[in-house]
Amino acid sequence: MWTTVLLLLLPLLSSTNKTKHDHLNQSEILSEDFSDIPVKSQKPPGEVKGQLQQSLLAFGRSTRKLMRDVMDEQQRALDVLSNQVSELMMKMQALSSEVQRSNTEMFSMKPVQSHGRDCSEIKENLMSAVPKIPSGIYIIHPENTDSSFEVFCEMDYMGGGWTVMQKRSDGLTDFRRPWADYADGFGHLAGEHWLGLRKVYHILNQKEARFQIHIALVSHDDVTSYASYDDFRLDNETNFFRIHLGRYSGSAGDAFRGYDQDQNQDTAPFSASDMDNDGCNPSCTIGNKIVESCSLQQNFTGWWFNQCGLANLNGSPWDSDQNQGWHILWDTWRRSGIPYTIRSVTMKIRRIATNN
Ligand SMILES: *[C@@H]1O[C@H](CO)[C@@H](O)[C@H](O)[C@H]1NC(C)=O
Ligand SMILES: *[C@@H]1O[C@H](CO)[C@@H](O)[C@H](O)[C@H]1NC(C)=O
Ligand SMILES: *[C@@H]1O[C@H](CO)[C@@H](O)[C@H](O)[C@H]1NC(C)=O
Ligand SMILES: [Ca+2]
């Protein structure tokens, strides 16, 4: 029953979103000055002209008030509707997982909120019930772990089913963090965040599951690009979440591997400001600088550094006022030989095969 209601409401939700984005907002419309309406074109005698101006002004005022009332009304209706839709979505998800549990997991001890092992599975599970699965925060419970946790699922991008493991978009989240934060995760799932190496490890380490990783880049002048690897694994924490990458494809270049073996970050362990696994032992010479810690050199951020390498998507977003400092780094993405200035990035993973 909820599903039916939802099917009816989903198109409404997406069309109301569109209305908000595509049209002028309320204050833009209200700030148009109706009193500027030309009234002099026919040059009527002074008295008539005065009356005409008066009534035009009155007309303008009452039109403005009418529009304001109508728009307030509409806004209230939209808010109510959108609350109702979110409520319904939540009920629908709870129901859908209940149904699934009673069908397939009669004796399961899993928490009630568990909706899937990762975003790819959530997409599979919901696809038959919902025509358009919304992107957003979902609870997942990967195999081989006792814990459920929240993740952001991208359900629109390139077929959907993506679990976001990192996102930079506005520079509001500080990525200068110690090991413990990079292991546990930080930021806000709906905005900038690092999901956390332990969680990503749990997702990647499920039986009979393989994952691809997709990196989407946007430059400061809105050029987009991507890099994709057809396999992505992490070693366990004892091995500092060493990274393993499959075959590259994309338009941004394979910055993880760089141009030569010295820069290759594939199989590098993770480093943070207080955890030095960067392959500079005791130091590297990069350009003509002596570097002892890639993390410190790159503004105390964490990454799979290898002497330090050509990729660091946790670098600080570019500050255009201050034409220096460390920025989001994907050095193989260039225009006329110069690296793009990267404004935003997301790293996301998706299942590519299940052998069952
Ligand atoms: C509406 O647009 C004006 C001018 O572009 C802007 O200053 C204001 O913040 C906007 N308001 C909302 C609610 O988006
Ligand atoms: C981590 O992985 C290594 C090598 O695969 C293994 O020997 C070790 O037991 C693992 N450690 C933990 C805590 O799982
Ligand atoms: C380091 O990061 C902070 C916070 O993101 C930023 O304000 C600062 O400009 C960065 N410094 C350098 C040298 O990149
Ligand atoms: Ca070092």
Q: What are the tens digits of pLDDT across the range 70-97? A: 889 888 888 888 888 888 888 888 777 7
Place of tokens 């500027």: 36
The lowest-confidence range among 225-229, 270-274, 285-289, 299-303 is: 285-289
More reliable by pLDDT, 208 or 35: 208
> Looking at the chain, how many residues does it have?
356
pLDDT at 26 over 60: no
Highest mean pLDDT (candidates 267-276, 309-318, 320-329): 267-276
Give the residue whose CA is nearest to atom 3 of ligand 3.
316
Q: What tokens appear for 168 in the block?
A: 């930079």
Average the pLDDT over 189-215 and give the result.
96
Q: Reply yes or no on domain 113-354 having CATH 3.90.215.10.
A: yes
**Ligand that comes closest to the CA of residue 308:** 4
Pocket test for ligand 1, best of 28, 71, 74 (most atoms within 8 A of CB): 28
Residue type, 137: I
Ligand 3 closest atom vs CA 326: 14
The lowest-confidence range among 149-158, 272-281, 302-311, 315-324 is: 315-324
Distance from C-alpha of 39 to C-alpha of 308, rounded to nearest angstrom: 70
Distance from C-alpha of 37 to C-alpha of 33, rounded to nearest angstrom: 8
Cα–chain center distance at 171 = 13
Whole-number pLDDT of residue 321: 54
C-alpha closest to that of 60 among 35, 40, 38: 35
Ligand 3 closest atom vs CA 176: 2
Ligand 3 closest atom vs CA 327: 14
First to last CA, the chain: 32
- Measured in degrees and rounded to the nearest 5, phi and psi for residue 210 equal -120, 150
Whole-number pLDDT of residue 32: 47
C-alpha closest to that of 158 among 197, 213, 210: 213
Whole-number pLDDT of residue 262: 87
Ligand 2 and 144: CB distance under 6 A: no
- Measured in degrees and rounded to the nearest 5, phi and psi for residue 127 equal -55, -40
More reliable by pLDDT, 13 or 167: 167
Average the pLDDT over 151-163 and give the result.
94
Average the pLDDT over 151-164 and give the result.
94
Whether residue 250 contacts residue 226, with contact meaning beta carbons closer than 8 Å, is answered with yes
The lowest-confidence range among 90-99, 205-214, 293-302, 315-324 is: 315-324
Whole-number pLDDT of residue 355: 52
Whether residue 155 contacts residue 135, with contact meaning beta carbons closer than 8 Å, is answered with yes
CB atoms within 10 A of CB 341: 15
More reliable by pLDDT, 94 or 37: 94
Ligand 2 and 238: CB distance under 6 A: yes
Average the pLDDT over 160-164 and give the result.
96
Ligand 3 and 157: CB distance under 6 A: no
Average the pLDDT over 52-80 and give the result.
87
**Ligand that comes closest to the CA of residue 21:** 1
